[in-house]
Amino acid sequence: MSGGSITNRIRTLRFLNGEISQAELGQRIGVTRQTIAAIEAGKYSPTLEAAFRIAHAFNVPLDEVFQWTADCG
Amino acid sequence: MPYREKTAWLTLIAIALTFGPYFGAVAARGRAVGAVPDLHQLGLFAIAVAAQVIIMAAGFAYFAITSPHDARTPPDERDRAITSRSITFAYYVLIAGMVLVGGIMPFNSSGWAIINAALFMIVAAEVVHYGIIVISYRRQA
């Protein structure tokens, strides 16, 4: 399986949505503040359902929140 | 620090404070540990279990008072994933221990030697379980 990296724009989207806190976003999608922090830092990849919930919370398509880049070579 | 990392630390500390000295005493007594029943050995085990229950109860009560919301919040998907991974590793430790204790030791040991070896493997599996939880939360922090 080829590698790749997942990035996200959660920090930007939180800012654009009235600087909502990690705790508030976590509450909206049903995870803890620490899990949002881990997702935002790229240290934890959420389940597909949680990813959709995050996109829904910001009212944007999934690919505006998460991006995947394939490793070259 | 996530609530579940705190409780994992609590469990590791409780194990270190109770079963650490217990197995230290077992090692110090060496072959003096007798056949079943050995009331002295049984007493040490009872003290270790009682001390662990007290430490855990006090720790959980402290967490419930200082962070009641975290204590009531059910585990989320990351908590469940970390727990699942830690249980998988602990399972292998426990199975290896049970093969050793149940399949090999009966041929050359008896009594408390087998009981203590089984206890040690259970405690080792618990240490792996909670150790991996702590490491996982630290790596994702």
> Which amino acid is residue B37, in one-letter code?
P
| Residues A43-58, mean pLDDT to the nearest whole number | 95
Question: Worst-scoring range by mean pLDDT, B8-12, B17-21, B101-105, B121-125?
Answer: B101-105
Chain B residues in contact with A30 by the CB 8 A cut-off are 76
pLDDT on residue A6? 87
Q: For B5, name the nearest residue in chain A, comparing CA atoms only.
A: A34
Q: Give CA separation, A18 vs A14, A24, A54, B137, in Å.
A: 7, 11, 15, 29
Mean of the pLDDT values across residues A41-49?
A: 93
Region at A18 (left for phi over 0; alpha for psi -120 to 50; beta for the rest)? left
A31 touches chain B (CB under 8 A): yes
Which residue's entry shows tokens 């803890």?
A: A32
pLDDT tens, position by position, B58-97: 999 999 999 888 888 889 999 999 999 999 999 999 999 9
Nearest CB to A30; choose among B2, B76, B139: B76
- pLDDT given for residue B113 in this prediction: 87
Reported as a single tens digit per residue, the pLDDT across B3-52 is 899 999 999 999 999 999 999 988 887 766 666 677 888 888 999 999 99
And the tokens for B135? 């490491």
Residue A45, chain B, CB below 8 Å: the answer is no
Angle of helix B77-98 relative to helix B112-139, nearest 10 degrees, comes to: 150
pTM: 0.83
Nearest CA in chain A to B139: A43
Q: What is the pLDDT of residue B73?
A: 85
Query: pLDDT category, A53, cuts 50, 70, 90?
Result: very high
Which of B123 and B107 is assigned the larger pLDDT?
B123
Q: Which tokens go with A18?
A: 């009235």
Tell me if B41 sits within 8 A of B33, measured CB to CB: yes
Rounded distance between C-alpha atoms, residue B35 and residue B32, angstroms: 9
